[in-house]
Amino acid sequence: MSILVVVPCGKRKIWDRSPAIGPVHARDAYIGAPFKVNRKYAKRFAERWVILSAKYGFIDPDFVIPGNYNVTFKDPRTNPVSISRLVEQIREKGLYGYDKVVVLGGRDYVDVVRRAFSKFKVKVIAPTLGLPLGKAMAKVREAIENDSPFDC
């Protein structure tokens, strides 16, 4: 079974710590603990993984982010990427070609991913949906430690 893992970006970014650092790869841009544990899961179990950024959409880990930004799906005034653009990216990047899409994130990200993939015959699962952040991170860590990918 082929698996795509979608990792939510995260509010904490490298520029919060080092404002003058300049452009960095997406895999290194997000420095919060939730992103780090989700990235570790994705690297361990996914055939492919992408980051869902409210600004850039579905981005590969080697995508270069030029600098800090603050865009969120929770606030439409920040102008997050549209569902129609995400659907375009799914087509352009071939993200629809997986048996299962595992979304590691909260309700906002899960809802966006489900809406974007609704036009494709892909099973979207959200194993941490509805859990408080600490419990979600613990569940992901446990999957990694037990070498047991989510099979919802």
Quick one: pLDDT at residue 86?
Answer: 98
Quick one: pLDDT at residue 1?
Answer: 72
CATH number of 3-145: 3.40.50
| C-beta separation of 128 from 139 below 8 A | yes
Which residue type does 36 have? K
> What's the average pLDDT block by block, 10 residues per block, for the chain (152 residues)?
92 93 96 96 96 97 96 94 97 95 94 96 94 94 93 68
Dump pLDDT digits (tens) for 63-86. 999 999 999 999 999 999 999 999
Please give the Cα distance from 113 to 101 (Å, whole number): 9
Please give the Cα distance from 62 to 102 (Å, whole number): 20
**Which residues touch 70 (CB under 8 Å, ≥6 apart)?**
11, 78
| C-beta separation of 78 from 70 below 8 A | yes
Query: For the chain, first and last CA: distance in Å?
Result: 13
* pTM, rounded to two decimals: 0.94
Alpha helices in the chain (DSSP H): 14-17, 26-29, 33-45, 83-93, 107-117, 133-145
